[in-house]
Amino acid sequence: MLDGFSFREGSLHVGEVAAAAVANAVGTPTYVYSADAIRAAYRRLDKAFAPLKVRTHYAVKACANLEVCRLLRSLGAGMDVVSGGELERAWLAGTPLEEIAFAGVGKTDEEIRGALDGRFSPLAGTPLVEGRDLTHRGAVGMFNVESSSELERIADIATELGVRARVCIRVNPDVDAKTHEYITTGKEQNKFGIDLPRVRLLFDAYRDHDSVEIIGLHFHIGSLVPRVEPYVRSVEVLNRLIDELQGAGHGIRLLDLGGGWPAAYQEGECPPIEAFADALIPLLEERVREGLQVVTEPGRVLLANAGVLLTRVQHVKLGRSKRFVICDGGMHSLIRPALYQAYHFVWPVDVPQGLAPGTRAETQDFEGLEPSDVVGPICESSDFLARDRQLPPVGRGEVLAVFSAGAYGMSMASNYNDHGRPAEVLVDGDRVRVVNERQTLETMLETERRPREVAIQTLC
Ligand SMILES: Cc1ncc(COP(=O)(O)O)c(C=O)c1O
């Protein structure tokens, strides 16, 4: 019930390893990922969508750690990236360029250049790429294009470099994903995607372009989409559009369904991945038989429940009606509670055996729990990891696990209040590896040490 995690004799284990031992060895706050849980989630998704022969592009933004990307690559994943930085990570993780999709609403000229020709990669000439040939690196498998302005830039830069860019047009289907408003992306008022009339115009305008080939369509209606129905509606919209475009003589080889498949932060709160796949398969299987390639870009469903954040209690403060458990991790390490009022199950990693939970449910049926807010050290009242929870008594120095923190945890961590970003650990069976060292103050200060004069010509 806790995915790759389990309480054994009251002690939280990740694979074969005690979480407390990891916290003692590596310090806190630290993200700990279970390789087994990532593998299980990937295989489950793969199996659910097998009738559509879906190609999976892992959404790197969910957890960009290189070793996590390598692990997913070893399972066969391509990568969905939204910046020049993520593109380089995907490539360093060993992903062939053809299996990288470059999405994102604000691609810069530099990023487009780097995605078309390795000589313009931000890593060109750095020791990081030793042994990998950037000079002869060509174009990514596809760009997911978000506006006609962007497509124009891709076409111009591809022409300038003498290469051909493959492009998928991101459609805004104007469908409400019924998720948190900050992660809703498929409504007409959202900045993402292109409306249907403009999509048709783009297909016509770029029909015989020398440097751009439009190979298909893309949509992504949001993240943590809690119901099947918005996907069904979106695919119906896209199916009609495909028919229309094909009728006008355009070839549509690929349909990218985006990501957004939910992960259960509490068991049972959303349908399983199989429910989404089962609803979409009948809508697409005939097209797949006729040669359509279907792609999906999952992030959360693969990583969320494969990671925990370990944080150590620094102080316990009694308020009038509850106690504040003040930890070294907070909104700077995991911003989801502050940003989206998101729920994460929190529990001490070592408890008497009778207090070991078997699920991530908010309400746990134990005696002796105390009303608590689990908060961080940051000077904001939004700095909480869990509010109004019933927790076992905990004291200074104890370690808590914040569950379901593998996706949009570390990748959204910040240095606010001058805290270094957490360490990351990958546990595979009994093998424990620090896959990202804790950020030190030295590296944080590096770019501020030597102010640099800039000569700017003024008018007067
Ligand atoms: C275009 C795109 N694809 C895929 C994803 C991954 O979403 P999720 O992690 O919910 O699967 C996102 C995340 O917001 C996205 O913006």
- Taking only the tens of pLDDT, the chain with its 460 residues reads 677 899 999 999 999 999 999 999 999 999 999 999 999 999 999 999 999 999 999 999 999 999 999 999 999 999 999 999 999 999 999 999 999 999 999 999 999 999 999 999 999 988 888 788 898 899 999 999 999 999 999 999 999 999 999 999 999 988 887 888 888 888 888 888 899 999 999 999 999 999 999 999 999 999 898 999 999 999 999 999 999 999 999 999 999 999 999 999 998 899 999 999 999 999 999 999 999 999 999 999 999 999 999 999 999 999 888 899 999 999 999 999 999 999 999 999 999 989 999 999 999 999 999 999 999 999 999 999 999 999 999 999 999 999 999 999 999 999 999 999 999 999 999 999 999 999 999 999 999 999 999 999 887 7
Q: What is the spatial distance between Cα 169 and Cα 84, in angstroms, rounded to a whole number?
A: 19
> CA-based angle 160:163:169, to the nearest 5?
100
Q: Which atom of ligand 1 is nearest to the CA of 218?
A: 1
Here the tokens at position 398 are 């104890």
The C-alpha atoms of residue 144 and residue 154 are separated, in whole angstroms, by 11
- Give residue 36 CA to ligand 1 midpoint distance, Å: 22
Ligand 1: residue whose CA is nearest its atom 13 = 223
* pTM, two decimal places: 0.96
Tokens of 410: 């570390």
CA distances from 24 to 65, 310, 332, 363 (A): 22, 10, 21, 29
Q: Which residues contact 431 (CB under 8 A, 6 or more apart)?
A: none
Q: What is the Å distance from ligand 1's center to 179 Cα?
A: 13
Q: Which atom of ligand 1 lies at the shortest distance from residue 299's CA?
A: 9
pLDDT, position 181: 84
Compute the distance from residue 187 Cα to the ligand 1 centre, in Å: 15
Residue ranges of domains in the chain, CATH in brackets: 5-32+304-446 (2.40.37.10), 35-298 (3.20.20.10)
CA dihedral of 218, 219, 225, 229, whole degrees rounded to 10: -100
Pairing mode, strands 212-218 and 323-327? unpaired
Query: How far is the centre of ligand 1, averaged over its atoms, from the C-alpha of 218 (Å)?
Result: 12
The DSSP bridge partners found for residue 14 are: 5, 17
The pLDDT, as a whole number, for residue 324 is 97
Q: Identify which of 55, 56, 218, 223 to mutate to test ligand 1's pocket (most ligand atoms within 8 A of the CB).
A: 223
If we measure between CA atoms, which residue out of 217, 195, 192 comes closest to residue 284?
217
Sign of the alpha-carbon torsion through 58, 64, 67, 68: negative
Taking the C-alpha atoms of residue 192 and residue 19, their distance in angstroms, rounded to an integer, is 40
Smallest CA separation from ligand 1 atom 1, residue = 220
Measured from the Cβ of residue 380, the count of other Cβ atoms closer than 10 Å reads 14
How far is 380 from 341, CA to CA, in rounded Å? 14
Report the nearest atom of ligand 1 relative to the CA of 297: 4
* Residue of 63, 69, 270, 379 marked active site: 379
State the amino acid at position 187 in one-letter form.
K
244 CA from centroid of ligand 1 (Å): 27
Q: 272-296: b or e for each residue (b if 16 or more CB lie within 10 Å)? A: ebeebbebbbeebeebbeeebbbbb
User: CA nearest 29: which of 287, 310, 403?
Assistant: 310
**Nearest ligand 1 atom, CA 183:** 14
Q: What is the pLDDT of residue 129?
A: 84
Q: How far is CA 308 from CA 45, 254, 303, 395, 410, in A?
A: 21, 35, 10, 20, 10
Tell me how far apart the alpha carbons of residues 81 and 88 are, in angstroms, rounded to a whole number.
9
**How many angstroms is it from 172 CA to the middle of ligand 1?**
14
The atom number, within ligand 1, closest to the CA of 185 reads: 16
Is residue 174 classed exposed, middle or buried when 0-12, 13-18 and 19+ CB atoms within 10 A define those classes? middle
Q: Which tokens go with 169? A: 């047009």
pLDDT of residue 151: 97
Q: Considering only CA atoms, which residue is closest to atom 5 of ligand 1?
A: 259
Q: And the tokens for 437?
A: 């060292």
Residues having CB within 6 Å of any atom of ligand 1: 59, 61-62, 80, 103, 220, 223-224, 258-261, 297-301, 407
Whether 263 contacts 304, CB under 8 Å: yes
Pocket-testing residue among 170, 297, 302, ligand 1, by greatest number of atoms within 8 A of Cβ: 297
Q: Tell me, yes or no, if 379 is annotated catalytic.
A: yes
Round to whole Å and give the CA distance between 302 and 363. Answer: 25
Map the chain to HEC letters: CCCCEEEECCEEEECCEEHHHHHHHHCCCEEEEEHHHHHHHHHHHHHHCHHHCCEEEEEHHHCCCHHHHHHHHHCCCEEEECCHHHHHHHHHCCCCHHHEEECCCCCCHHHHHHHHCHHHCCCCCCHHHCCCCCCCCCCCCEEEECCHHHHHHHHHHHHHHCCCEEEEEEECCCCCCCCCHHHECCCCCCCCCECHHHHHHHHHHCCCCCCEEEEEEECCCECCCCCCHHHHHHHHHHHHHHHHHHHCCCCCCEEECCCCCCCCCCCCCCCCHHHHHHHHHHHHHHHHHCCCEEEECCCHHHHHHHEEEEEEEEEEEECCCCEEEEECCCCCCCCHHHHHCCCCCEEECECCHHHCCCCCCCCCCCCCCEEEEEECCCCCCCCEEEEEEEECCCCCCCEEEECCCCCCCHHHCCCHHHCCCCEEEEEECCEEEEEECCCCHHHHHHHHCCCCCCCCCCCC
